[in-house]
A and B are shown apart, each in its own frame.
Chain A
Amino acid sequence: MQRLWKPGIFLVAVLFSLPIFTILSFVVYPSSEIWRHLTDTVLGEYLVNSALLMLGVGIGTLIIGVGCAWLTSVCVFPGKKFFTWGLLLPLAFPGYIIAYTYTGMFDFAGPLQTWIRQVTGWGVHEYYFPQVRSLGGAMTMFSLVLYPYVYLLSRAAFLEQSVCVLEVSRTLGCSVWSSFYRVALPLARPAIVAGLSLALMETLADYGTVSYFGLGVFTTGIFRTWFGLGDAAAAAKLAAILLMFVFTLVVIERGSRKRAQYHHTTNRYSALPQYRLNGYRACLAFCACFVPLLLGFLLPVVQLGLWALETYDYMVDKSFIALTTHTILLALSAALIAVVLALFLAYGKRMLKSKTVTASIRVVATGYAIPGTVVAVGVIIPFAWLDGSLDSLLREYFGVSSGLLLSGSLFALMFAYMVRFLAISIQAVESGLGKVKFSMDEAARSLSYTPTEILMKVHLPLMKGTVLTAFLIVFVDVMKELPATLILRPFNFNTLAVRAFELAADERLADSSTAALMIVVVGLLPVILLSHSISASRVGS
């Protein structure tokens, strides 16, 4: 059994990094006519748009995330306790759903503009109203749903900072606010950068929002090149460039996380100082935390709810229920497979303690950063090649055709989910397994337990929580996933996310609300879990 473990891990690593290497191999693939055309015309636009989008989202998430994190970690003001976890709620929204909702709300025929016209009596074109479906709109949408990444990590960093360090800065003559700028912020920088990188990875990975807004960025470019121009190689080349961006972010993120560990200058913690805010200051703090929550969660939820009330009569029918069941079954099986594979890998790493095993697991764990669009392209190219080879082989020797055995199947879709989400389950399972120290195994053995008994009596109870968390997070992420599902789903197979996307693309925004609301409700589960752990834990106590 143990002898098969190591090759097993390599096999998993090779399989699930195949798409990445496929894409990367296209960097050196000879350029086609279409590729030259793309570089002449749209590549510059993709680069500029992606860069601007990252810049805007970066600024937006930094201001909201770091600001709210500082307020909720060291200030006392009305509603602070609620905001501590409430600020995570926008995480339940996939970018594309909030984008449809705001488009519907702020459109010419939407409730807001209609109301403005009624109140003022202005007519068409007689007033200026910002376009939601624009680059600026996309920046705003992403900032509203992605700031929790920055918030979470920077809040954790602020809480981990030793009070002593802050107090030293006070004794050296810094005011509360200047100790924030001169001490707390620099100390938290690695964590903030890590959170920011995660937010930017999500931005780059998005397809639903940018395609709905008609923005030319890499993900939409890949779709257009493949399905519009029919050039898989050129699409893969675009994907490779996108991958370079992503890898840069991964390197930054991992580097920052490592540096963050060195920033703990002391192990002594005590309750952080709490600055009580009064009067207008308290009011400002409240608003600063309430506005992101209102715009990023409350308002869109209310709008979706109103639409759902309007449309559920004819939208929630047998086919909708079948669709929901489909989606849930798909997500459940993906989560199950992801957790089983993660357990296999994590236990292998723990038992074998080999550098090559650790390295191959790290390769697999890069998948979380890779946009679904890129994964889909990376999966379909080798699978189509396999299908083609198999088909011609069978036809040559047996005279039968196997057709598209792999590339059009649920198998390919599941495979892509693993490439993208295995990293999440590995991370969760590893952190759970980290709690089971080696000495506990040895203690149990010295108390006459066999390895199998130890698995049941010590590991299982200790790991239960994290394994469930891993399961839940993968489940939710699969439910939200759009681009890979859109490309790889078998004919006539839909998920809630795809359905919401299709309806929105047909400008049936109100009709898409039931599916969208469903996704948001499910997406709330891990947020609740996270907020529970955030309010329960405080380093050093």
Chain B
Amino acid sequence: MTSQLEVENLQAGYDDLQVLNEVSFSLQPGQIGCMLGPSGCGKTTVLRAIAGFEPAWNGRILIDDIEVSSRQLNLPPEQRNIGMVFQDFALFPHLRVEDNIRFGLREMPRREQQSRIQEMLAMVGMLAYARAYPHQLSGGQQQRIALARALAPAPGILLLDEPFSNMDVDLREQLAREVRNILKQENNTAILVTHDQHEAFAMADQICVMNEGSILQQGSGYDLYHRPANRFVADFIGQGVIIPATVESPTTVKTDLGLIRGKHKIDAESGTIVDVLIRPDDIVHDDESTESAIVVEKAFRGADFLYFLRLDSGIEVMCLAPSHHNHKINERIGIRLNVDHLVTYSRN
């Protein structure tokens, strides 16, 4: 099976500063990928290298099995068959909405242009705004037009550079899901850059977590949350604490909270001390339980409470409890371990 996008050992940077360190990944046709990481991790550089705005120092990039970037080659952006949605949308302020979309369709006969514009506007639900100017639209509407403009020429791959970062927080996830539905309808291949994991989860099939110019882990949101490959990913994705544990058998560890049994073999000798990742949803509030802890702090989050608990041993953990379990600070509450995925890290 051929892939739509292939990035192989990509190295790139600005001036003398190398930003990317042997980045490799690929996307199948119709797949939505995501580069996720903190600011300055190089995720935008990956996107700009794919677009052709930054040359590859080493390695190569293939779009549709055609080499577009390598050490010797840097095909200009206009010849790469890409579409791009920018952080600030970059709509042309002097053109109406319809002419913004028409901008990339100049190869088409006039009649087809018009029907393609209508099609695109219908797709993003903006048919009524064809004659409007960008400054008359809200941020979310501009976003949709930017998407329609980028998709109109039917690019082989769509690049989205932090497309929701200018939006209200409440809108982001909703828009991310909307954009995903649009892309899936048209079976577009796309790649998204963001620092917001919720956007990534809402939109992407495959997520690459990046830090300091390298991809640390690739996988679905579920995998990244439950099977983080290293401490950085564990810390960056979701919440949780790391507590010490002793290896009892190849699949079991002993913690202050009790025994945890995993499905996979632990990479450590019996008797050694390792670190275990405990997510808030790994600890269940249970009044019947014999284990208990003291509430140190709590955060009300609507449907649930996030409790910060101190065990008798002094170790602090987090616990996600349904909203009707409203306990006071300093109260002792019963808890029970419910770990589906045992994640251990050796200590150094």
Contact = CB atoms under 8 A, between A and B. Distances in A.
Interface of A: 435, 437, 439-440, 442-450, 457-458, 461-462
A462 B87 contact: no
Interface stretch (B24-32, B62-70, B74-82, B205-213): B74-82
B149 A437 contact: no
Interface string B47-60: 00001110000000
Contacts of A437: 88, 90
A442 B92 contact: no
A444 B76 CA distance: 12
A437 B146 CA distance: 15
B88 A450 contact: no
B122 to A, nearest CB: 20
Interface in B214-260: none
B201 interface: no
B144 to A, nearest CB: 15
B103 interface: yes
A530 B86 CA distance: 33
A327 to B, nearest CB: 34
12 contacts: A437-B88, A442-B51, A442-B84, A446-B77, A447-B78, A447-B149, A447-B153, A448-B78, A448-B153, A450-B78, A458-B92, A461-B94
B142 to A, nearest CB: 12
B88 A439 contact: yes
Contacts of A458: 92
A440 B92 contact: yes
A442 B103 contact: no
B278 to A, nearest CB: 41
Interface residues of B, number: 28
A449 B77 CA distance: 9
B104 interface: yes
A439 B160 CA distance: 12
Contacts of A440: 90, 92
A445 B149 CA distance: 13
Contacts of B84: 442-443, 446
B326 to A, nearest CB: 36
B83 interface: yes
A447 B93 contact: no
B87 A439 contact: yes
A445 B78 contact: yes
A449 B80 CA distance: 11
B12 interface: no
Nearest to A457: B103
A261 to B, nearest CB: 20
B94 A448 contact: no
A537 B108 CA distance: 39
Which of B51, B89, B94, B104 has the most chain A CB within a 10 Å cutoff?
B94
Contacts of A445: 52-53, 76-78
A446 B93 contact: no
